[in-house]
Amino acid sequence: MIQGINHITFEVKDLERSIRFYQEVLEARLTAVGETQAYFDVAGIWLALNVGESNAPPHVSYDHVAFTIEPDDLVLLRERLHAGGWIERSDRERSPGEAPSLYLRDPAGHLLEFHTGSHQKRLQYLRIAALPIRVLD
């Protein structure tokens, strides 16, 4: 029944700053904008921003959205983030089986990952690693 991801929506407080972030960092194409909403196309993914005043605590969890990028693009992205004033950060240590990636938080605190690996490569690693996890396929 599920055919794929339909869209991703983030609540933001500063719409203009968030629009600039997603255009500069993800090179998202703005497709619609209003006083309290903005829609983007990010490599075929519909991303929506909605202005809200959530009383949720600051984002400190590992919940995130990961975007696939090529390994060579990771270096270019890191350079672009620094040049644009968007500071990249690593929120956790990587285990040996994880592909290189880069983490940062958007202006509203949502954690984003730019990941160079794939599900299949992760499963290949897990098949040979001595970890307490069993690969089922």
Bridge-based pairing of strands 7-12 and 45-51 is parallel
Distance CA 37, CA 98 (A): 35
CB 7 within 8 A of CB 46: yes
Distance CA 65, CA 22 (A): 13
At 76 the three-state DSSP class reads: helix
Residue 53 is a catalytic residue: no
Catalytic residue among 11, 24, 98, 113: 113
Active site residues: 113
